[in-house]
Amino acid sequence: MNNKKIYSRRAILAASAAAAGIALVKTTAGQLVHALVPGDKPPADPTTIQGVPSGKIGTRSPFEQLVKKPSDISARTPLQHLVGTMTPSDLHFERHHAGVPFIDPDRYQLLVHGMVSRPTVFTLSDLKRLPSFSRIAFLECSGNFRTGKERMTPQEVCGLTSQSEWTGVLLSTLFREVGIDPRASWFLAEGSDAAKMTRSIPVAKGIRDGMIAYGQNGEALRPEQGYPARLFLPGWEGNTSVKWIRRIEVSDQPFMTREETSKYTESIKGGKIRQFSFDMDARSIITFPAYPVKITKGWIEIRGIAWSGRGKITKVEISTDAGRHWAPALLQMPVLDMAHTYFRYIWKWNGEPTEIRSRAVDDTGYEQPTLDQLVAARGKEMGGYHLNPVTSWQIKRDGEVLLKPEKWK
């Protein structure tokens, strides 16, 4: 009815928004659409000039240059630039073994077979017709600790953790549909990437809270996170949440795939190798102030995230004097199970050099250890997976904030 009116209004806006231009913008579907984008420079006074009209997809302010930090096999979430607990989907960390596959959702199939009474193939629309479950939870790679240099950001230290709302079908639903054999104890999850990535998972975990997720933050999964469907196992090391899942084989023993023997196992004391170390232990990191920010004297709110794969965070403590004294930070409600929890702590910096750090406690009573405690428990030869040490930031006299690098080998 008033299409015309909108059109003309749009035309006027386009004409009068002096700094704006029409550009080709890529939608999430990869479609190119025309959209009005602001010019390079904002006007001196935005109240004196019409803004850009509404568009087909939202944009990120050109002033917010948020990027992941990619390598050949992974890309890290810029934790220091995020606020709150959710990770925008395009900034979710990535880790894959053979690149991101390109999958046609109409040809997608999930095969469930093995110790089940009805071996079944589900299409994506079958999965979407089953009861749809959502939960907010973090996903973290088990190899998520880097140190060694002062000039390292939270992204570089532990940017392989991200948080989303995941939506999909509970495995308990799927197992009921196919009639799982009560004697079954493990299942193999296999991806449809070029690594045909495989992990063996205890059926008990699948039934407890596992899901086949097809949604991430209100829309379809991103290809980098497993489009069109992935396994999601809250609280467990990221690689077990097999992406691009195409097959589940139910069994009564683990398959001992390469990703649970050669990789994702870790050396511990006495020449032993720990296997099937699924749970992500409690951890926290201060994301502000952290390198590369510089601070000035006075009141500062120290902020960060804490999480545990075993349940809820019950406490985060902050030390602003290199670990001599600790005081509880405020936990931002609601605190969810197996989810990034935002913490805040008000501190007055007096301008003297010091060190700030955080440590998390979860509802099992587990307290985030120091690197020394981890070395004492696992030995100097300990492997690089499941390292969750307390991370310290040095505050220099000039207000520079630098990582306190650590060594154990």
Partner 1 sequence: MTRIWITAILLLNIICGGCDQYATEEQNNPLFGLGVPATDTLIRKWDDDVRPDGKGFPAGEGDARSGKIVYSQKCASCHGANADDNTFGKLVSLPGDTSKSKSVGSYWPYASTVFDYIRRAMPFNAPGSLTNDEVYGLTAFILAGNSLIPDTVVLDASVIPKIQMPAMRKFVPDDRNGGFEVR
List residues near ligand HEC by CB under 6 A. 97, 195, 258, 262-263
DSSP one-letter code for 235? T
Taking the least distance from each CB to ligand HEC, the nearer of 185 and 198 is 198
Taking the least distance from each CB to partner 1, the nearer of 156 and 237 is 237
Taking the least distance from each CB to ligand HEC, the nearer of 258 and 294 is 258
For partner 1, which stretch binds (CB under 8 A), given 36-44, 223-231, 262-270, 291-299?
262-270
Does 73 bind partner 1 (CB under 8 A)? Our answer is no
Does 170 bind partner 1 (CB under 8 A)? Our answer is yes
Exposure b/e, 280-316, CB count within 10 A at least 16 = b = bbbbbbbbbbbbeeebeeeebebbbbbbbbbbbbbbb
Residue 195 C-beta: closest distance to ligand HEC, Å: 6
Question: For residue 167, what are its two tokens?
Answer: 């939506």
Question: For residue 152, what are its two tokens?
Answer: 């390292």
Residue 307 C-beta: closest distance to partner 1, Å: 14
Question: For residue 259, what are its two tokens?
Answer: 């990703």
Q: How far is CA 353 from the centre of its chain?
A: 33
For partner 1, which stretch binds (CB under 8 A), given 6-14, 40-48, 248-256, 317-325?
248-256
Taking the least distance from each CB to partner 1, the nearer of 153 and 193 is 193
Residue 191 C-beta: closest distance to ligand HEC, Å: 12
Residues 291 to 310 in contact with partner 1, rule: CB under 8 A:
310
Distances (CA, A) of 42 to 14, 15, 48: 15, 16, 12
x-or-dash string of contact with partner 1, 114-153, rule CB under 8 A: ----xxxxxx--x--xxx-x--------------------
x-or-dash string of contact with partner 1, 20-59, rule CB under 8 A: ----------------------------------------
Does 208 bind partner 1 (CB under 8 A)? Our answer is yes
Does 97 bind partner 1 (CB under 8 A)? Our answer is yes
For 28-71, what is the HEC assignment?
CCCCEEEEEECCCCCCCCHHHCCCCCCCCCCCCCCCCCCCCEEC
For 149-160, what is the HEC assignment?
CCCCCHHHHHCC
CA 85, CA 65: separation in Å to the nearest integer?
19
Residue 119 C-beta: closest distance to partner 1, Å: 4
Answer whether 318's CB lies under 8 Å from 289's CB. no
Does 380 bind partner 1 (CB under 8 A)? Our answer is no
Q: Which does 94 bind (CB under 5 to 8 A by kind): ligand HEC, partner 1, none?
A: none
What residues contact residue 280 under an 8 Å CB cut-off, 6+ apart? 138, 140, 142, 235, 236, 237, 307, 308, 309, 310, 386, 388
In this structure, how many other beta carbons lie within 10 angstroms of the beta carbon of residue 235? 22
Does 113 bind partner 1 (CB under 8 A)? Our answer is yes
Residue 368 C-beta: closest distance to partner 1, Å: 9
217 phi-psi bin (left φ>0, alpha ψ -120 to 50, beta other): left
Q: Which does 130 bind (CB under 5 to 8 A by kind): partner 1, ligand HEC, none?
A: partner 1
What residues contact residue 389 under an 8 Å CB cut-off, 6+ apart? 145, 368, 369, 370, 371, 373, 374, 406
- Identify any residues that bridge with 348 across adjacent strands, giving them in sequence order: 299
Tokens 């998972």 appear where?
201
CA 156, CA 334: separation in Å to the nearest integer?
28
Taking the least distance from each CB to partner 1, the nearer of 126 and 355 is 126
Taking the least distance from each CB to ligand HEC, the nearer of 143 and 289 is 143
Q: Which does 257 bind (CB under 5 to 8 A by kind): ligand HEC, partner 1, none?
A: partner 1
Does 15 bind partner 1 (CB under 8 A)? Our answer is no
Q: Which does 279 bind (CB under 5 to 8 A by kind): partner 1, ligand HEC, none?
A: partner 1
Binds partner 1 by CB under 8 A, chosen from 195, 295, 322, 335: 195
Does 253 bind partner 1 (CB under 8 A)? Our answer is yes
